[in-house]
Amino acid sequence: MKVAIYTYSSPESLRIKELIIQGLKQYRIQYDEQTPDIVISIGGDGTLLSAFSKYQDQLDTIRFVGIHTGHLGFYTDWRKFEVNDLVASLRNGTGQSISYPLLDMTAKFSDGQVLHKIALNESTIKNITKTMVCDVYINHELFERFRGDGLCVSTPTGSTAYNKAVGGAVMDPHIIGFQLAEMASLNNRVFRTLGSPTIFGSENVLTLRLADESSVVLTCDRDKWVLDSPSHHLVELTFKVSDKKIRFAKYRHTNFWQRVRESFIGDL
């Protein structure tokens, strides 16, 4: 087994990293940041998102483990005082994992360029100067014309993040699909959208076509692009379930709905 550690350079995170490295040496587990079998992220969900981005090309061979240094996260199962238990679990592991679906995003621009990304949480599109107008196609058939601040497309695990903040539904991560949520849509006698979160299955393709050349901000997890050049404006976005998945090492994996209750409801 080969293990990599991804963390930011805070003193506490670096201290935990050193403890893990000492434990790996004790159990003769190889440390390898280039081609690991296990990637341990130290921090929170944001740190794991960055680790996911770094190792995105190796998802077929990597399993992730998250250590949180603050509050319980949705992708982090271990606490910082459990380093010894984690390293022992690495040594005694049988290769089990639990996987979650990802979001495939393709952006096409007016100059012919194409951007392809995979999201663990969500992708968003917003107009930064005025009301955003775009046509929404489901499986290449026009469904509605959206007017509002923007749109958020999320994965099931990402449904508890920004998607929930803009009024989207919480999805069970065992559902292979994705979700579209509106941001401050205009709904009146003249303009009309569905006005509710929409959940798509694994066979569906969602396409968003911008109605004009306005400046927009496009995000994919922690990546952001400000698109305000007339010669390089966004024309179309396509979303579908990715053929890749993220895998977490199943040494100890907290139930998703337990995480939801602890994060948003608390003790009953």
Smallest CA-to-CA distance from 125 within 268, 235, 41 is with: 235
- Return the active site residues: 45
Contacts of 51 (CB under 8 A, 6+ apart): 6, 39, 41, 64
Per DSSP (E only), the strands in 2-89 are 2-7, 30-31, 38-43, 63-68, 78-79
**How far are the Cα atoms of 125, 129, 259 from residue 262, in angstroms, in the given order?**
30, 38, 5
Three-state DSSP class for 197?
coil
Query: Rounded distance, CA 28 to CA 81, Å?
Result: 21
Three-state DSSP class for 17?
helix
Query: Rounded distance, CA 219 to CA 119, Å?
Result: 10
